[in-house]
């Protein structure tokens, strides 16, 4: 066991964790933040994407102990009680169906726009290359991200 | 009575989904999000061999491992066989499939034992300590090799891997118009014969499967939370396998992260978890790892196809003859043997032929069972006929579009035209969808570009491929299913109830998991009953809340469940009309209904339906003998399938030096009848086309000589990402179905059914000047490059 | 998927990391963890101890070393991809870093980790090989410099000792040379089926020198020596002929993406294109 302090969605948590505990299970099981999903076991699908110190990462490929001292944002903390423009855009453009990839997709998209605020559609597609969706064919997800970049969503 | 403002029409509007806010903010609840006090974790011990007898199982080390509660094998966890619901005919061989195997493993991943522990970590650690005395046997995973003499036998008692054939001329309840033989014997006709292999596919719903069983031990009651498309069917199958009365069994499909057929199943793990909960009186949880799911969750498609066409020299298609050999994998699961049959009548496409024959043979192999995967039988049929039409066009030196047009079933034949294979198409306008597709594509412009491209000598060449498709979905009526030997029916149910406050509660027997019926069904009810869209709440996916239903698969949600809903709404309206007449002291015939208000004709006297709902609930002043409550349930058994259709065109660029294929455009014009919510229809098409492109270009599950899956994780199984897929160009026509009062047809599988042949036809078209006539799918760079090299020789 | 149990130590300094490596049995360094953790989750790797060097901030970033760039071993792929110095003086490396994995992987994965992993299908080892990079390692006997050409010993096997840690990668500034990295794969998130890195100097219609390295064409990243020799001083229209030698001395794998023979074909096509692209820059 190791004792770690992680700030999640603005709240500091000090917890004992087993060394082998993955960050995603720490978030889901220890903190009850089940909005972050697990879709694979090979860092392929991106469903577990969160922000670690402001950047998108796959929380299934990080140990909780590696996040000691870090700031984490999950889908639950992206907006305070309402919806972030990216979340609003996903609804307006029907960028989700079953919703399972959605939290990771939204977190990846927000991080992507932080780095590249005015992307082309092709850049958006590559910016989301680490997130798989089986429902939407990505068409409406790309539209949603483009709409946020264009400032069409508040 | 005061009148309220008439709500704006809802059907046809791009209503934003009611489902979305919780899914977008992480408030969703999937099975893996569910924790029950006192819960134990189950982890399966699976066979690492494709075929091996079990000499013995030593569970002692695992039993004494940290945190372990119990370890069970088939000997200590008593369960019946899993339910198989489609014994297609008397020939059909379906040996009992037990949740835990005891004699031998028949595929890599076959579960042999289950470890139950206090945490998932401890269960995983202990599962590695279960020692199985495996005695490996030779394995066979190839369909054709499995039928050869001397092949390893998967089910010893059968003495063969041939699981039986289904022959249309013998087994179909619908008579074929003419046998195909005389046409193929006619020397005046041109014949072609094409053979295709459709790779095995892994569905890859983004949410892995999972199950949580909660126990009320004193009452003998169980609640099964399962990542399933079929809570109602699962309730029945689990009752049979686990010996729990249905009345004591509640199955809940909470938020379900996609299905595509992979969650239309009676799986070993659900039964094992319920069996464990029953035996130990403790809640049990199991969740699937993705790589575990690749061997434990059903696969789709794999088959060899042989299709023959006979046509006149000027391109009039006269007859179609088809033979299939389909991989069952190691077991018959819930509808495995019937999957190829779901395409049986569609190998003639939307072409008006005279002669028709179809048959298929089911084959056991040492790999994961196959079953319904998006489209189930119909993508296979569409692929064969649409590829074969291009082959015929090449043989006759005709334009593939002209050949299709020449053979379309004429629009004047509809409604309700019985085709050569024996079923009756409700309605269609095949020329209409194709016209629109060609216009959006600028077909002539493309051909000019292609000529210029070829003349330039560019090593990157372009091509276009078409798929003018149809399908049958919303499978019904039940009496037809009976004739096809399917055990269950094809109806669905809905309840519409006015609550005292004026909101409407809708219960639907379909079980959406991404399709958006919470929204589209609210639109239907809002318009039908004249209430606000926001005032309609649709509940589903819990057998205790919605006792009646047959769930979601086969593009049936709207065309069966939605119509049941409309029928329930009609009953509610009729009762409301009676109450209104009573309150307004007039005859029912004197009432007009519009915008939620019953108005006495020619007066301003009216009653709003919400108020009538309150009257029915308070029951203070109802007509004599009337039951209180403004609620009605309807069960609807459709008189026919629904028959959507469309025309898809794919434009590709092929790098002839590397074999890489890039999709430049994908134009799809579809007709699913009346459109309730265009956003949702387009979303279904986008996703369906993406899966169709995926199976054409990327995805396949292959096995090595020992029967090991070679794409064992998401790093090697090629689910495409955003960069691999194009922006889709969609158009539509609207040809209402005459079968149902909403005029709707299914759309959930359309894209997946339509897209694959369009993609492959485009690649072959791009390479046609090099002599290429076929590229095996998925058309990987190596396959495309090899096809070019083969054509050069 | 849950890794088997292990101990976890945070290295406070390079010396501390070296001490931990010396004193712990079966220890592995972890930086971003994007090569090691997936293997541990599948239980294909089960080290007894993980030594987290991810907090050694001093090893992160790109420094101008005069005639070369000094890239800290813990520089993440995304930072390298966006680094102004790297883009100015070593664009091949910056570009290749942007093709590794996906954005989330690039936010965590480090150049030192990638090199130490020694995966012949990875992009950065190939780029470093084409650039004649120098890998600087610290060990119990102090610092040593290993040329990239001597670093990759075999399949997932490098010249780095069990008791050593990579601290820096030094790469000569690009100067006027043209460059290219072509990564052939079916999906953007895949490893290279085949990759070709080319650094080419040309003048007046002839090729001067060419350094060409190949991804996923054998047990290690490889130099296409026969092509390099054929290109040296050759006229520009000889590129195809030279590229046709790109598979000489390679031993490409066969897997679900491509057969060995198809890789041999692809590497010739990609080498031709990479050299032509480099000459055009």
Q: In this predicted model, what pLDDT tens digit does every residue of B30-79 receive, in sequence order?
A: 999 999 999 999 999 999 999 999 999 999 999 999 999 999 999 999 99
Q: What does the alpha-carbon distance between residue B281 and residue B527 come to, in Å, rounded to a whole number?
A: 48
Vertex B182: Cα angle to B178 and B185 (nearest 5): 155
Residue among A61, A66, A130 minimizing CB distance to C103: A130
Confirm or reject contact between C257 and chain B (CB < 8 A): yes
A49/C104 Cβ within 8 A: yes
In whole angstroms, how far apart are CA B702 and each of B151, B194, B708? 19, 23, 8
The residue among C9, C102, C106, C185 with the most chain A CBs within 10 A of its CB, best to mutate, is C102
Residue among A41, A58, A66 minimizing CB distance to C104: A58
Q: What is the pLDDT of residues B174-189, one digit of tens each?
A: 999 999 999 999 999 9
Radius of gyration of chain B (CA): 28
What's the half-sphere exposure (Cβ side, CA atoms, 13 Å) at B783?
A: 19
Confirm or reject contact between C186 and chain B (CB < 8 A): yes
Sign of the alpha-carbon dihedral angle for C208, C211, C214, C218: positive
Provide DSSP, B415-475.
SSEE-TTS-EE----HHHHHHHHHHHHTHHHHHHHHHHHHHHT-SEEEEEEEEEEE--BS-
Q: Which residues of chain C have pLDDT under 70?
A: none
Edge-to-edge strand order for the sheet containing C68-72?
C62-64, C68-72, C165-172, C134-139, C142-147
Compute the average pLDDT of residues B633-658: 98
What residue has token string 């894209």?
B751
pLDDT of residue B7: 66
Coil, strand or helix at C88: helix
The residue among B722, B724, B749, B754 with the most chain A CBs within 10 A of its CB, best to mutate, is B722
Compute the average pLDDT of residues B253-274: 98
Q: Is the pLDDT of residue B529 over 90?
A: yes
Within 10 angstroms of residue C245's Cβ, the number of other Cβ atoms is: 18
Asked if residues B636 and B491 have their Cβ atoms less than 8 Å apart, the reply is yes
Q: What does the alpha-carbon distance between residue A44 and residue B711 come to, in Å, rounded to a whole number?
A: 13
pLDDT of residue B45: 98
A2/C189 Cβ within 8 A: no
Within 10 angstroms of residue B308's Cβ, the number of other Cβ atoms is: 19
Phi/psi for C203 (5° steps) reads -155, 145
Tokens of C236: 């520009």
Q: Residue B21 belongs to what H/E stretch?
A: helix B20-24
Count chain A–chain C contacts defined by CB atoms under 8 A: 86
Tokens of B107: 């595929």
DSSP bridge pairs for B325: B304, B361
Residue among A19, A44, A62 minimizing CB distance to C189: A44
Phi/psi for B54 (5° steps) reads -105, 110
| pLDDT band, very low/low/confident/very high, at A81 (cuts 50, 70, 90) | confident
DSSP bridge pairs for B496: B506, B632
Q: Which residues of C touch A47 (CB under 8 A)?
A: none
Coil, strand or helix at B334: coil
Q: Please tell me what DSSP assigns to residue B14.
A: -
| pLDDT band, very low/low/confident/very high, at B5 (cuts 50, 70, 90) | low
Confirm or reject contact between A61 and chain B (CB < 8 A): no
Asked if residues C80 and C86 have their Cβ atoms less than 8 Å apart, the reply is yes
Tokens of B370: 């196959």
pLDDT of residue B3: 44
| pLDDT band, very low/low/confident/very high, at B429 (cuts 50, 70, 90) | very high
Count chain B–chain C contacts defined by CB atoms under 8 A: 49
The pTM score is 0.97
Subunits in contact with chain C (3 or more CB pairs closer than 8 Å): A, B
3-state secondary structure B590-625: HEEEECCEEEECCCCCEEEHHHHHHHHHHCCCCCCC
State yes or no: cis peptide before C263, omega within 30 of 0: no
Q: What is the pLDDT of residues B338-379, one digit of tens each?
A: 999 999 999 999 999 999 999 999 999 999 999 999 999 999
Q: How far is B326 from chain C (nearest CA, A)?
A: 23
Asked if residues B180 and B355 have their Cβ atoms less than 8 Å apart, the reply is yes
Q: What is the pLDDT of residues A84-109, one digit of tens each?
A: 999 999 999 999 999 999 999 999 99
C187/B721 Cβ within 8 A: yes
| C272: closest chain B residue by CA | B657
Count chain A–chain B contacts defined by CB atoms under 8 A: 181
Residues of B with CB under 8 A from a CB of C: 120-121, 124-125, 128, 289, 291, 657-658, 660, 698, 702, 710-711, 713, 715-716, 718, 720-721, 723-724, 780-782, 785-786
Q: Which residues of B touch C187 (CB under 8 A)?
A: 698, 718, 720-721, 723-724
| C263: closest chain B residue by CA | B782
Q: What is the pLDDT of residues B739-785, one digit of tens each?
A: 999 999 999 999 999 999 999 999 999 999 999 999 999 999 999 99
What residue has token string 């031998």?
B104
DSSP bridge pairs for B194: B307
Q: How far is B300 from chain C (nearest CA, A)?
A: 19
pLDDT of residue B4: 47
Q: What does the alpha-carbon distance between residue C234 and residue B671 come to, in Å, rounded to a whole number?
A: 61
Closest CA to B648 of B681, B684, B683, B693: B693
B121/C187 Cβ within 8 A: no
pLDDT of residue B792: 79
Please identify among residues 20-79 of chain C the ones whose CB lies closer than 8 Å to any CB of chain A: 30, 33-34, 37-38, 41-42, 50, 52, 54, 78
| A42: closest chain C residue by CA | C38
Q: How far is C159 from chain B (nearest CA, A)?
A: 28
Q: Which residues of B touch C186 (CB under 8 A)?
A: 698, 718, 724, 780-781
Closest CA to B24 of A29, A41, A87: A87
Provide DSSP, C249-264.
T------SS--HHHHH
Q: Show contacts of B149-156: CB within 8 Å, 24+ apart.
A: B152/B51, B152/B366, B154/B51, B154/B106, B154/B330, B154/B364, B154/B365, B154/B366, B155/B93, B155/B95, B155/B106, B155/B364
pLDDT of residue B572: 98
Confirm or reject contact between C1 and chain B (CB < 8 A): yes
State yes or no: cis peptide before B599, omega within 30 of 0: no
pLDDT of residue B165: 98
Q: Which residues of C touch A65 (CB under 8 A)?
A: 8, 52
Confirm or reject contact between A112 and chain C (CB < 8 A): yes
Q: Is the pLDDT of residue A135 over 70?
A: yes
pLDDT of residue B569: 98
Q: Residue B224 belongs to what H/E stretch?
A: strand B221-226
Q: Please tell me what DSSP assigns to residue C191.
A: P
Exposure string for B429-455, b = 16+ CB within 10 A, e = fewer:
bbbbbbebbbebbebeebeeebeebee
Q: Residue B693 belongs to what H/E stretch?
A: helix B678-697
What angle, rounded to 10 degrees, do the helices at B750-766 and B378-396 form? 30
Within 10 angstroms of residue A145's Cβ, the number of other Cβ atoms is: 31
CB within 8 A of B389, min separation 6: which ones?
Answer: B309, B349, B351, B400, B403, B404
CB within 8 A of C135, min separation 6: which ones?
Answer: C115, C128, C145, C146, C147, C148, C151, C160, C166, C168, C169
Average pLDDT, chain B: 97
Give the start-end residues of each E strand in B567-695: 591-594, 597-600, 606-608, 631-636, 645-655, 661-671
């Amino acid at each position: 066991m190791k004792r770690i302090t992680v700030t999640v969605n603005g709240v500091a948590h000090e917890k004992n964790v087993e060394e082998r505990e993955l960050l995603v299970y720490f978030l889901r099981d220890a903190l009850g933040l089940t909005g972050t999903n697990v879709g694979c076991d090979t860092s392929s699908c991106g469903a577990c994407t969160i922000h670690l110190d402001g950047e998108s990462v796959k929380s299934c490929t990080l140990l909780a102990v590696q996040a000691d001292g870090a700031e984490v944002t999950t889908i639950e903390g992206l907006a305070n009680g309402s919806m972030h423009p990216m979340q609003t855009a996903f609804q307006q453009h029907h960028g989700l169906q079953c919703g399972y990839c959605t939290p990771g997709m939204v977190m990846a998209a927000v991080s992507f726009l932080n780095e590249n605020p005015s992307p082309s559609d092709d850049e958006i597609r590559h910016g989301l290359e680490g997130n798989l969706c089986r429902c939407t064919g990505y068409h409406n997800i790309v539209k949603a991200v483009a709409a946020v970049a264009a400032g069409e969503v508040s | 009575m005061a009148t309220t403002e008439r709500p704006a029409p809802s059907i046809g509007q791009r209503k934003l989904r009611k489902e979305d806010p919780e899914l977008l903010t992480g408030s969703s609840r999937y099975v893996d999000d569910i924790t029950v006090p006192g819960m134990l974790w189950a982890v399966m011990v699976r066979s690492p061999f494709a075929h091996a007898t079990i000499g013995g199982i030593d569970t002692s080390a695992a039993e004494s491992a940290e945190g372990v509660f119990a370890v069970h094998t088939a000997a200590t966890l008593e369960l019946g066989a899993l339910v198989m619901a489609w014994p297609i005919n008397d020939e059909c061989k379906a040996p009992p499939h037990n949740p835990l195997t005891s004699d031998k493993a028949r595929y890599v991943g076959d579960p042999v034992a289950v470890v139950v522990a206090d945490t998932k970590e401890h269960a995983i650690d202990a599962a590695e300590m279960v020692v199985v005395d495996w005695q490996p046997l030779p394995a066979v995973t190839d369909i054709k090799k499995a039928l050869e003499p001397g092949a390893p036998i998967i089910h010893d008692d059968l003495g063969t891997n041939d699981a039986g054939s289904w022959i249309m001329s013998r087994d179909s309840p619908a008579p074929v118009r003419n046998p195909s033989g005389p046409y193929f014997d006619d020397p005046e006709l041109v014949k072609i014969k094409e053979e295709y292999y459709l790779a095995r596919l892994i569905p890859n719903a983004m949410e892995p499967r999972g199950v949580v069983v909660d126990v009320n031990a004193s009452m003998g009651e169980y609640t099964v939370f399962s990542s399933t498309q079929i809570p109602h069917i699962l309730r029945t199958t689990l009752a049979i396998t686990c010996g729990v009365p249905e009345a004591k069994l509640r199955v809940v499909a909470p938020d379900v992260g996609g299905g595509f057929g992979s969650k239309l199943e009676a799986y070993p793990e659900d039964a094992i978890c319920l069996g464990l909960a029953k035996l130990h009186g403790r809640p049990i949880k199991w969740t699937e790892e993705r790589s575990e799911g690749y061997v434990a969750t059903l696969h789709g498609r794999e088959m060899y196809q042989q299709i023959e066409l006979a046509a006149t020299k000027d391109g009039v298609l006269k007859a179609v003859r088809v033979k299939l050999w389909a991989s069952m994998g190691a077991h018959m699961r819930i509808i495995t043997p019937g999957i190829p049959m779901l395409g049986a009548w569609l190998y003639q496409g939307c072409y008006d032929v005279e002669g028709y024959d179809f048959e298929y043979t089911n084959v056991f192999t040492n790999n994961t069972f196959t079953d319904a995967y998006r489209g189930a039988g119909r993508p296979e049929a569409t692929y064969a006929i649409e590829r074969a039409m291009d082959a015929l066009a090449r043989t006759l030196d005709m334009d593939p579009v002209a050949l299709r047009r020449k053979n379309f079933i004429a629009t004047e034949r509809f409604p309700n035209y019985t085709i050569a294979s024996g079923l009756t198409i409700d309605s269609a306008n095949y020329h209409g969808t194709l016209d629109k597709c060609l216009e959006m594509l600028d077909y002539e412009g493309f051909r000019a570009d292609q000529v210029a491209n070829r003349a330039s000598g560019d090593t990157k060449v372009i091509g276009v491929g078409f798929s003018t498709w149809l399908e049958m979905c919303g499978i019904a009526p039940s009496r037809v299913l009976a004739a096809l030997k399917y055990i269950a029916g094809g109806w669905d149910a809905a309840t519409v109830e006015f609550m005292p406050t004026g909101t409407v509660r809708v219960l639907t027997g379909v079980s959406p998991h991404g399709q958006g019926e919470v929204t589209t069904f609210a639109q239907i009810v809002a318009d039908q009953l004249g209430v606000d869209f926001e005032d309609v709440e649709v509940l589903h996916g819990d057998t205790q809340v919605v006792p009646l239903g047959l769930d979601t698969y086969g593009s049936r949600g709207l065309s069966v469940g939605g119509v049941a809903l409309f029928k329930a709404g009609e009953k509610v309206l009729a009762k409301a009309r009676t109450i209104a007449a009573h309150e307004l002291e007039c005859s029912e015939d004197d009432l007009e209904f519009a915008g939620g208000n019953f108005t006495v004709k020619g007066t301003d006297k009216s009653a709003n339906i919400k108020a009538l709902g309150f009257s029915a609930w308070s029951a203070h002043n109802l007509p004599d003998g009337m039951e209180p409550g403004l609620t009605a349930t309807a069960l609807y058994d459709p008189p026919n399938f629904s028959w959507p259709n469309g025309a898809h065109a794919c434009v590709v660029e092929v790098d002839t030096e590397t074999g890489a294929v890039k999709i430049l455009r994908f134009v799809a014009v579809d007709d699913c009848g009346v459109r309730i919510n265009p956003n949702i229809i387009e979303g279904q098409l986008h996703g369906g086309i993406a899966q169709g492109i995926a199976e054409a270009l990327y995805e396949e599950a292959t096995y090595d000589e020992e029967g090991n899956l070679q794409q064992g994780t998401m790093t090697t199984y090629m689910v495409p990402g955003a960069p691999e897929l194009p922006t889709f160009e969609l158009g539509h026509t609207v040809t209402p179905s005459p079968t149902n009062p909403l005029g709707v047809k299914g759309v959930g599988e359309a894209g997946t059914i339509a897209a694959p042949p369009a993609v492959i036809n485009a690649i072959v078209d791009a390479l046609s000047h090099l002599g290429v006539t076929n590229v095996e799918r998925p058309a990987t760079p190596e396959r495309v490059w090899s096809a070019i090299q083969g054509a050069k020789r | 998927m849950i890794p088997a149990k292990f101990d976890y130590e945070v290295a406070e300094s390079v010396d501390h990391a070296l001490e931990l490596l010396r004193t712990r049995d079966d220890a592995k360094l972890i930086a971003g963890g994007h090569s090691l953790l997936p293997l541990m989750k599948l239980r294909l790797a089960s080290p007894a101890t993980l030594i987290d060097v991810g907090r050694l901030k001093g090893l992160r970033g790109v420094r101008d070393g005069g005639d070369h760039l000094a890239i800290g071993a813990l520089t993440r792929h995304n930072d390298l991809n966006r680094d102004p110095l790297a883009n100015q003086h070593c664009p091949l490396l910056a570009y290749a870093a942007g093709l590794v994995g996906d954005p989330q992987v690039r936010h965590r994965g480090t150049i030192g980790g990638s090199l130490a992993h020694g995966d012949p299908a990875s992009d950065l080892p190939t780029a470093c090989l084409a650039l004649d990079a120098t890998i600087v390692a610290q060990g119990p006997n102090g610092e040593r410099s290993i040329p990239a050409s001597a670093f990759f010993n075999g399949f997932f096997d490098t010249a780095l000792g069990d008791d050593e840690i990579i601290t820096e990668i030094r790469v000569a500034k690009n100067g006027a040379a043209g460059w290219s990295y072509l990564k052939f794969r079916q999906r953007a998130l895949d490893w290279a089926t085949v990759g070709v890195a080319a650094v080419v100097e040309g003048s007046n219609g002839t090729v001067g020198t060419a350094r060409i390295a190949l991804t996923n064409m054998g047990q290690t990243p490889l130099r296409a020596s026969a092509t390099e020799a054929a290109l040296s001083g050759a006229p520009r229209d000889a590129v195809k002929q030279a590229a046709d030698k790109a598979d000489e001395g390679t031993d490409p794998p066969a897997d679900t993406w491509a057969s060995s023979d198809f890789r041999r074909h692809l590497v010739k096509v990609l080498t031709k294109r990479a050299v032509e692209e480099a000459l055009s820059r």
